[in-house]
Amino acid sequence: MLFWVTWCGAHAALGARQPDCTAQIQKASQLLSNGKVREAQSSALASIRECPGNPTAYNLLGLSYDAETRFGEAQQAYLKAIELDPKGVSSHDNLAVSYFRSGNQESGLQEFHKALGLDPRDLTANLNLAAYSLNRKQYSRAL
């Protein structure tokens, strides 16, 4: 731990700084919430150019692609978010929903189960799996 603090201090002293993509990510999120999908994509892509290691930007990009039923692109964005943050439950949830929407139920189920492996109380995965079980008349599994 001491090495990390020392390295960060030396790195900052050299004048190098990590870009802060928070504003760009918040902008993309707000645009997406307001239904401005293309603008949200542009903002998410700008954030990715500035901070290519930020999984939230890829997750937002995936959501914007999903909004346009561009499932393949959405799924690639979610997979990148998961690569960057394998424990990111929301990326697994979003990937699962995208798989379901594109007709790939088996992969969607697998992703929801991965999400539950990370967080057994994940509301999105639990509700979607319950709804899936109800639709298949598997009532005991829906509970």
What distances in angstroms separate CA 57 from CA 18, 29, 50, one per listed residue? 16, 9, 10
Measured distance CA(106)–CA(54) in Å, rounded: 28
The 10s digit of each residue's pLDDT in 55-90 is 999 999 999 999 999 999 999 999 999 999 999 999
Measured distance CA(100)–CA(50) in Å, rounded: 31
Assign a CATH topology to domain 87-143. 1.25.40
What pLDDT is recorded for position 11? 32
Tell which residue, 73, 42, 38, 72, has the closest CA to residue 57: 42
- Going through the chain in order, the beta strands assigned E by DSSP cover none
Confirm whether pTM is higher than 0.85: no
Confidence of residue 20 (pLDDT cuts 50, 70, 90): confident
Does the domain made of 22-85 have the CATH classification 1.25.40.10?
yes
Domain boundaries, the chain: 22-85, 87-143
Q: Do domains 22-85 and 87-143 have the same CATH topology?
A: yes
